[in-house]
């Protein structure tokens, strides 16, 4: 893996050396790119000695390499990290200015970008800076926000560069996310671009407590056999990952799956529909948004055999009864919560989903055709339809991570609109 580390003109530039070392310890090749003003704070030799590579400082420096340097580096890197990032470089990135190597590298690469701002408290709070941060966030740029503390200008407040270990940790997460996406989502034509779009960095869900159900349920027939379905849990898990990336506290209630839950989710593992119902009800009061992405069995055997059912005769009759309707239950008592349900359909998709929206008192139904080979169960892509009381929006084929962010966007809009009209 290769990272370009951009260093800009700020007193915190000396901390970039620690970021360089931390990435190297994880086996990452780091190419340092310094702006002209950064060289006023830290010498080139320091970075060159540690990285083992010449430091790039000049857009038009003579070289024996016939390749255009910024284009070559743009295509080689897996991640661009800018730490510290001044108000000036944020403005350049936001407005598409490319008057030095670092700003030109930014608009030349499809690799994701991680930015760690550092500046005076008033500069960070200024409307222009915050507008540039918002623009970059909407484009898919990731941020490690500055921390509060004593600043070089002898003031106290937000603006101090985040601790190097925090920046290193976030960069390492992003590198692993990209490599995972390349393995798990082979249908994406441009995986780097997909990661940049999919892993939304804005923290618009900070403070939200979201309950997500995922995976199938398993309804036992006997100690050996049971009734289940093809759900892999991938859509629910991608929702949990996306919500956490956007700042939410996530409780993930999951049926039996073969994938690992997000590290930062509070995970509750269940098997049956009854167990999932109880887990959802136990966590209902503490949740502000509930997303029922699990494929819950509608029926279960009335009785479960204590011993394995032996083969005898040509037929067997199993009496079934309804399981608890989780989506309907949360819909009945939702209050000011945003409730999202899923409709896995094989026919009359929109009509059936809209009926479900009304009957379950949900705010949003995510519908899809599970007969499609590239969407629905046990694949890494999805083609969903977002249905609310006022709107029906059909999305093209996207990765499940990107679909997750569309769903979260719609749910957040519903919640925000509801509060504004309260």
**Phi/psi at 416 (5° precision):** -65, -45
- Which of 147, 177, 198 marks a domain boundary? 198
**220 shares a domain with 183:** no
pLDDT in tens, 180-224: 444 444 334 333 333 333 343 457 899 999 999 999 999 999 999
| Residues 216, 235 contacting (CB under 8 angstroms) | no
Task: List, in sequence order, the alpha helices (H) in 64-213.
Answer: 69-76, 87-95, 101-106, 121-125, 127-139, 164-184, 191-198
pTM above 0.85? no
pLDDT at 192: 33
Spell 70-87 as b/e; 16+ CB within 10 A means b: beebbeebbbbbbbbbbb
**228 shares a domain with 176:** no
Cα(298)–Cα(116) distance, rounded to whole angstroms?
48
Question: Is residue 292 annotated as a catalytic residue, yes or no?
Answer: no
Asked whether residue 292 is assigned to any structural domain, the reply reads yes
**294 shares a domain with 399:** yes
Read off the tokens for 347.
């026919």
Q: Which of 72, 64, 70, 20 is nearest to 46 (CA)?
A: 20
- Which of 141, 173, 198 marks a domain boundary? 198
**28 shares a domain with 128:** yes
**15 shares a domain with 159:** yes
Q: How many helices (H) and strands (E) does the chain have?
A: 14, 21
**Phi/psi at 153 (5° precision):** -80, 10
- Which of 198, 230, 246 marks a domain boundary? 198
**119 shares a domain with 19:** yes
Coil, strand or helix at 345: strand
- Alpha-carbon distances of 384 from 96, 252, 376, rounded to whole Å: 33, 21, 9
Asked whether residue 230 is assigned to any structural domain, the reply reads yes
pLDDT at 190: 37
Domain containing residue 120: CATH number: 3.40.50.1950
Cα(85)–Cα(33) distance, rounded to whole angstroms?
12
pLDDT at 420: 60
pLDDT at 317: 93
Bridge partner residues of 216 (DSSP): 295
Residue 393 CB neighbours (<10 A): 11
Cα(411)–Cα(341) distance, rounded to whole angstroms?
11
Bridge partner residues of 219 (DSSP): 227
**234 shares a domain with 133:** no
Bridge partner residues of 368 (DSSP): 344
Asked whether residue 252 is assigned to any structural domain, the reply reads yes
Asked whether residue 203 is assigned to any structural domain, the reply reads no
Domain containing residue 416: CATH number: 3.40.50.10300
pLDDT at 155: 52
**188 shares a domain with 234:** no
Cα(195)–Cα(174) distance, rounded to whole angstroms?
9
Q: Do the strands 142-143 and 113-117 form a parallel or antiparallel pair, or are they unpaired?
A: parallel
Q: Which of 381, 419, 421, 407 is nearest to 210 (CA)?
A: 407
| Residues 174, 199 contacting (CB under 8 angstroms) | yes
pLDDT in tens, 57-73: 887 665 545 454 667 88
| Residues 34, 21 contacting (CB under 8 angstroms) | no
Cα(363)–Cα(334) distance, rounded to whole angstroms?
10
**246 shares a domain with 182:** no
Asked whether residue 361 is assigned to any structural domain, the reply reads yes
Read off the tokens for 112.
């994701």
Asked whether residue 72 is assigned to any structural domain, the reply reads yes
Cα(37)–Cα(49) distance, rounded to whole angstroms?
20
**73 shares a domain with 194:** yes
| Residues 279, 252 contacting (CB under 8 angstroms) | no
pLDDT at 158: 66
Read off the tokens for 389.
């009381």
**215 shares a domain with 187:** no
pLDDT at 403: 86
Q: What's the full length of the chain, in residues?
A: 422
**388 shares a domain with 299:** yes
Cα(271)–Cα(110) distance, rounded to whole angstroms?
41
Q: Which domain holds residue 174?
A: 2-198
Averaged pLDDT in 10-residue chunks for the chain of 422 residues? 93 90 88 93 87 85 53 88 95 93 92 92 90 89 79 59 88 71 40 36 82 97 95 94 91 94 92 98 97 97 95 92 97 95 94 97 94 78 91 83 88 82 60
Sign of CA dihedral 403, 409, 414, 419: positive
The total of structural domains in the chain comes to 2
User: Any residues with CB less than 8 A from the CB of 339 and at least 6 apart, and which?
Assistant: 289, 290, 292, 327, 330, 331, 360, 361, 362, 363, 364
């Amino acid at each position: 893996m290769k990272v370009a580390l951009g260093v800009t003109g700020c007193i915190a530039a000396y901390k970039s050396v620690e970021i360089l070392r931390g990435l190297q310890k994880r086996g990452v090749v780091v190419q340092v790119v310094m702006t002209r003003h950064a060289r006023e704070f830290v010498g080139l030799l320091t970075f060159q000695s540690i990285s083992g590579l010449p430091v790039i400082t000049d857009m038009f420096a003579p070289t024996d390499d016939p390749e255009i340097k910024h284009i070559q580096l743009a295509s080689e890197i897996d991640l661009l990290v800018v730490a510290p990032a001044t108000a000036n470089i944020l403005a350049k990135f936001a407005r598409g200015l490319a008057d030095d190597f670092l700003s030109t590298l930014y608009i030349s690469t499809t690799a994701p970008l991680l930015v760690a701002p550092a500046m005076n408290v008033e500069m960070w709070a200024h409307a222009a800076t915050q507008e540039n941060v918002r623009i970059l966030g909407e484009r898919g740029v990731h941020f490690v926000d500055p921390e509060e503390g004593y600043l070089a200008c002898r003031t106290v407040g937000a603006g101090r560069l985040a601790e190097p270990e925090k920046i290193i940790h976030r960069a390492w997460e992003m590198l692993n996310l990209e490599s995972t996406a390349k393995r798990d989502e082979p249908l994406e034509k441009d995986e780097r671009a997909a990661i940049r779009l999919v892993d939304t960095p804005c923290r618009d869900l900070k403070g939200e407590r979201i309950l997500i159900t995922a995976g199938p349920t398993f309804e036992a027939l006997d100690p050996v056999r049971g009734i289940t379905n093809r759900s892999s849990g991938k859509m629910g898990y991608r929702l949990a990952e996306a919500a956490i990336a956007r700042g939410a506290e996530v409780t993930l209630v999951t049926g039996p799956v073969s994938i690992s839950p997000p590290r930062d989710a509070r995970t509750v593992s269940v098997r049956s529909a009854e167990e999932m119902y109880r887990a959802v009800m136990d966590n209902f009061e503490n949740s502000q948004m509930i997303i029922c992405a699990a494929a819950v069995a509608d029926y279960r055997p009335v009785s479960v055999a204590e011993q394995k059912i032996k083969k005898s005769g040509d037929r067997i009759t199993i009496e079934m009864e309804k399981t608890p309707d989780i989506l309907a239950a949360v819909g009945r008592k939702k209050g000011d919560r945003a409730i999202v349900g899923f409709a896995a359909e094989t026919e009359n998709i929109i009509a059936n989903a809209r009926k479900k929206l009304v009957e379950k008192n949900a705010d949003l139904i995510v519908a899809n055709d599970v007969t499609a080979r590239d969407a629905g169960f046990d694949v890494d892509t999805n083609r969903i339809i977002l249905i609310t009381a006022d709107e029906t929006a059909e999305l093209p084929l996207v990765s499940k991570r990107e679909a997750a962010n569309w769903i979260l966007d719609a749910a957040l809009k519903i919640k925000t609109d509801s509060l504004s009209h309260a």
